[in-house]
Structure 1
Amino acid sequence: MGTSPWITFKFKEVKRVNMAMDVYLPSDEQLRKSGKERAPVLVYYHGGGLCVGDRGWNDWVGRWLFCEPRPCSIISLHASGSDQSEPTDGAVEAGIAVVSCDYTLLGPHTGEDIICDVQDALVFIRDELNDKLEKHETAVRVDPKNVAVSGASGGGCVAYYAGIHSPYPLKAVITTYAGGGDLLSDWYLQEKTEPFFPGVPLLPSSAPFSPLLDAPRHTTPPTVRTPLSDPHSPRSLLFVWLLQRGTLVDALSGVRGASAALRRLPAAGQARARLAREDPHGRRTLPQLGLGAAFPPTFLAHGTEDAIVHVEESRHFCGLLRSEGVECVLWEVEGGGHGFDTEGGWKSSPGGGDEELTRRKDEGLARIIPWLVEHFD
């Protein structure tokens, strides 16, 4: 794929912070084999609980995007001359352009800022990306009428935002172990008094997190890239803190006290949803409240043993989509934990040592790209 298999483009600037996307293009031969003149686009949003992470490729990006189920190395995507095998059987191999996008992380910014980023990036892909590609040594162009989105973990919530708020119709939404499917559950709203997050004790104080959450939103530059290299940094632990205090809805909506008001209502029934809909920011930033018949066809993949984002979230979201008449495939990965579609994530999953469950997992991952291709024109 050449010495630089991705091309980076800035799609906007906010308070002197550049927001960018990395574009991974199929080769001329890969595009020719797909039978298409222009490459469909699959936009990818990284995980990190909406609080940490960046658009760069790393070991916590699902390998199905480039090379699943046969072994290969993501290193081979970054440099030519590697001893590693070339990626096969993924989106790029299928003639699809993968676009990994920045988005604003929570604190002090909210889901409203993320929605704005999603819309601006999608407009850039539609209106400007092909013009920008003309300046590079590639004959491949993208098809702005064939755009789908995907996301893992917190990035799945961003993909839901795209499905709801895109400025033009999308062909599909694909998520893996996505958060955002039921943000009105007790998991997000109830305060925790005992350790609940794998490998992390209860956090003792708000002191590390208050500067992130309480800074003035409209004058603070956005945070869009934070490496996962320091798991004990305040930003890396911010998602855990929001879960512990039961205030993720506050952070997403920007409405202080929203979580406390919601948790006083029963989890069963529609009381929480009715209250959340009364605030316009709640309606926009809680994906489950914005669904309708126009939401794109959706493929959800979720491990049954996920201890960070529970499989019930995807079950709930898929049920809502089906009630709206939207096509939804829900693949529950038996024995899969959080990050089951990555090598390390599967090894640490309860089912990671089981040959039969591993075979089923690989077969399931191999279904994703063919399903996506069927939904492109």
Structure 2
Amino acid sequence: MTGPCTTFVFKREQGVDFQADVYLPSEDQLKRAGHQKAPVLVYFHGGGLCTGNRDWNDLVPTWLFFEAVENGIAIISLDYTLLGPQTAHDAIQDAKDGLRFIHDDLNHKLEQHSSIRIDPDRIAVSGSSAGGTLAYYSGIYSPFPLKAVIGLYAGAGDLLTDWYLQEKKEPFVPGVPLLTDDKPFISILHAPRDATPPTVRTDHDGDHGPRSKLLFYLLQTGSLVDTLSGTRGASEVLRRLPSKFERERLVCDYKDVKKVIPSLCVTEKFPPTYLVHGDADTLVHLEESRNMYHTLRKKGVEVHLWEMEGGGHGCDTDGGWASSPGSKDGELSRQREHGLKKVLPWLLKHL
């Protein structure tokens, strides 16, 4: 990363520090960009809402962040609560608190570390995979208007599909066998909330216990909506309804469930949005971004969707593209590079 990282605590819950890693542009980068203060691009990491951390690693979109800093933009990576026993409601509150800290408090905190200041009126959010879910939540629930949202193969674009609601009796993700013992996952999900501090990070490398498979358990049992909303039995009721329309109509009567389903909560005030999604993604399906694209268009929101041909999950990263079906095709690789270069100019226009 260009420039040093400074870490700040933006809140503390049950003895756990929630932290923000701040990467600032240099004075020269800021001057060349013509900014007096640095616009901000907030980033939420991936990991299925069950694993991951805010660290700078090979899973973040370096193709975007290096160029963003070169153009005078500050990158800020935020902690958020992972699922179990906490819910998406906790993660939504974390996003709101982190954004409020950046907007209201960060410049004061920076006085001891840097001469650079951020522009609290020019903040955009981004996220990869599950981090894209947090980007959606931020666009909906931010305590102040955001300038833009960038979703990279963002999850939760359509949570009322059979992919999320139906139980799986056969392997459903390539290379991942069905799980046969639910006890480790139940111990996480049903732990007492008041006695269980929130989990905000896991290591990306190696096996870190049942959390590494928790998302697959939620998909296999069709219970992700239960865990996101904190409403046991919601998924079972929804899966009995044959049509998406009936499912949406029912959810709208249950505030705690509706609040965690982004496609049902976006309004015409949602920020301009740029979505990137591979058409060969077997974990977060392309149809999710398509659903959000059409939902936002109907609300009159400016939205772009780039469907990366041959791209699997994580297709914007070097490792993700290397494991994508399109990586062996020189023309598709060229198209990928060309497409990625369009995102930053779009962001600069909105920041």
- How would you bin the TM-score normalised by the shorter chain? over 0.9
Query: In structure 1, what is the equivalent of residue 152 of structure 2?
Result: 176
**What do you get for the CA RMSD once the two structures are aligned?**
1.2
Query: In structure 2, what is the equivalent of residue 75 of structure 1?
Result: none
Distance 2:194 2:254 in 1: 20
How many Å apart are 1:168 and its aligned residue? 0.3
1:88-146 CA-partner distances (Å, limit 9, x unpaired): xx21111100000000000000011001100100110011100011001x221100000
Tell me the secondary structure at the aligned position of residue 250 of structure 1: helix
1:95-110 equivalences in 2 (<5 Å): 95-110=72-87
Say whether the 8 Å CA contact 2:25–2:73 is kept in structure 1: yes
How many Å apart are 1:279 and its aligned residue? 1.1
The one-letter code sitting in structure 2 at the alignment partner of 1:250 is D
The one-letter code sitting in structure 2 at the alignment partner of 1:20 is Q
1:1-377 equivalences in 2 (<5 Å): 5-67=4-66, 90-136=67-113, 138-231=114-207, 233-266=209-242, 268-376=243-351
Distance 1:233 1:367 in 2: 39
Say whether the 8 Å CA contact 2:202–2:208 is kept in structure 1: no
1:21-70 CA-partner distances (Å, limit 9, x unpaired): 10010111111111111000000000000000000011111222334xxx
Distance 1:46 1:262 in 2: 29
Structure 2: stretches of 5+ with no match in the other structure: none
How many Å apart are 1:217 and its aligned residue? 2.0
The one-letter code sitting in structure 2 at the alignment partner of 1:320 is T
- Give the number of the structure whose residues are more often helix, by fraction: 2
Distance 1:271 1:59 in 2: 41
Q: Normalized against structure 2, the TM-score is what? A: 0.98
The one-letter code sitting in structure 2 at the alignment partner of 1:341 is D
The one-letter code sitting in structure 2 at the alignment partner of 1:196 is F
Say whether the 8 Å CA contact 2:65–2:75 is kept in structure 1: no
Say whether the 8 Å CA contact 2:277–2:308 is kept in structure 1: yes
How many Å apart are 1:270 and its aligned residue? 1.0
Say whether the 8 Å CA contact 2:9–2:19 is kept in structure 1: yes
The one-letter code sitting in structure 1 at the alignment partner of 2:141 is H
Tell me the secondary structure at the aligned position of residue 219 of structure 2: helix
Structure 1: stretches of 5+ with no match in the other structure: 68-89
The one-letter code sitting in structure 1 at the alignment partner of 2:134 is V
Distance 2:340 2:89 in 1: 32
Distance 1:373 1:218 in 2: 43
Tell me the secondary structure at the aligned position of residue 270 of structure 1: helix
Distance 1:270 1:33 in 2: 51
Say whether the 8 Å CA contact 1:62–1:339 is kept in structure 2: no
Query: In structure 2, what is the equivalent of residue 79 of structure 1?
Result: none
Tell me the secondary structure at the aligned position of residue 36 of structure 1: coil
Tell me the secondary structure at the aligned position of residue 208 of structure 1: helix
How many Å apart are 1:278 and its aligned residue? 1.2
How many Å apart are 1:231 and its aligned residue? 4.1
Say whether the 8 Å CA contact 1:54–1:227 is kept in structure 2: yes
Query: Percent of aligned pairs with the same residue?
Result: 57
Distance 2:208 2:244 in 1: 37
How many Å apart are 1:341 and its aligned residue? 0.8
The one-letter code sitting in structure 2 at the alignment partner of 1:93 is E
Say whether the 8 Å CA contact 1:26–1:97 is kept in structure 2: yes
Distance 2:349 2:87 in 1: 35
How many Å apart are 1:315 and its aligned residue? 0.2
